[in-house]
Copies of this chain bind each other. A is one copy, B any other.
Amino acid sequence: MPDQYKTSSYDVSFKIDGVQEPVTITANHGENILELARKANVAIDAPCSGNGSCGKCRVRLIGGSVYSKISRHITDFDFDKGWRLACESYVEGPSKFFVPDIAQAYKSRLRVTDMTSEREMRIFDKLLRELRETGITRHSGYFSAKLELAPPSLDDTMPDNERLNRSVQAITGKSDVSIRYSLLRRLPDILRENDWKVRCMLMEDRGGIRILDLMPQDDDEIMCGLAVDIGTTTVSVLLVDLESGKILSKGSSGNGQIRFGADVINRIIEQQKNGGVEKLRYAVVHETLLPIIHKLCDDTGTKMERIYRTVVAGNTTMTHLLLGVNANYLRTEPYVPTFFKIDPLFTREVGIDLSPGSRMTLCPNIGSYVGGDITSGTLASMIWNKQELSLFVDLGTNGEIVFGNSEFLMSCACSAGPAFEGGDIKCGMRATDGAIESCVIDPETLEPEISIFGDIAEKPVGLCGSGIIDVIAELYRTGAINGKGKFVRESPRIVRNEEYNTAKYILAFPKESATYREVYIDETDIDNFIRTKGAIFSAIRTLTMQLGFSPTDIEKVYVAGGIGSGLNVRNSICIGMFPDLPEERFEYIGNSSLSGAYSVLTSAAAEDKMFELSRAMTYIELSTQAGYMDEFVAACFLPHTDETLFPNILAD
Check B192 against A160 for contact (C-beta < 8 Å). no
- The listed residue (B181, B329, B338) touching A184 by CB distance below 8 A is B338
A65: CB under 8 A from chain B? no
A510: CB under 8 A from chain B? no
Check B343 against A159 for contact (C-beta < 8 Å). no
Give the residues in chain B near A326, CB-CB below 8 Å: 185, 188-189
A25: CB under 8 A from chain B? no
**In the bound complex, CA of A334 to CA of B163 (Å):** 14
Give the residues in chain B near A323, CB-CB below 8 Å: 181, 184-185
Check B159 against A338 for contact (C-beta < 8 Å). yes
A171: CB under 8 A from chain B? no
Check B157 against A342 for contact (C-beta < 8 Å). no
Check A325 against B188 for contact (C-beta < 8 Å). yes
Evaluate whether A329 and B188 lie within 8 angstroms (CB atoms) in the complex, with A152-B336, A160-B336 already known.
Answer: yes
Which residues of A (317-348) have their CB < 8 Å from a CB of B?
A: 323-326, 328-329, 333-340, 342-343, 345
Check B181 against A338 for contact (C-beta < 8 Å). no
**In the bound complex, CA of A474 to CA of B340 (Å):** 76
**Least Cβ distance of A338 to chain B in Å?**
5
Annotate A339-378 by CB proximity to B: 1 below 8 A, 0 otherwise: 1101101000100000000000000010010000000000
In which size bucket is the chain A interface? 35 or more
15 contacts between A and B (CB under 8 A): A152-B334, A153-B334, A154-B335, A156-B334, A157-B336, A157-B621, A159-B337, A160-B337, A161-B339, A181-B323, A184-B323, A184-B342, A188-B328, A188-B338, A192-B329
Give the residues in chain B near A338, CB-CB below 8 Å: 159-161, 184, 187-188
Q: Which has the most chain B C-beta neighbours within 10 Å: A157, A158, A333?
A: A157
Q: Which residues of A contact B (CB under 8 A)?
A: 152-154, 156-162, 178, 181-182, 184-185, 187-189, 192, 323-326, 328-329, 333-340, 342-343, 345, 349, 365, 368, 621, 624
**Least Cβ distance of A187 to chain B in Å?**
6
Give the residues in chain B near A368, CB-CB below 8 Å: 157
Give the residues in chain B near A160, CB-CB below 8 Å: 329, 336-339
Nearest 7 CB-CB pairs, A to B? Answer: A161-B339, A152-B336, A188-B338, A159-B337, A160-B338, A154-B334, A159-B340
**In the bound complex, CA of A555 to CA of B159 (Å):** 34
**In the bound complex, CA of A157 to CA of B621 (Å):** 10
9 additional A-B pairs beyond A154-B335, A160-B339, A188-B326, beta carbons within 8 Å, are A154-B624, A157-B335, A157-B621, A160-B329, A161-B338, A181-B345, A184-B339, A184-B342, A188-B338
**In the bound complex, CA of A178 to CA of B343 (Å):** 8
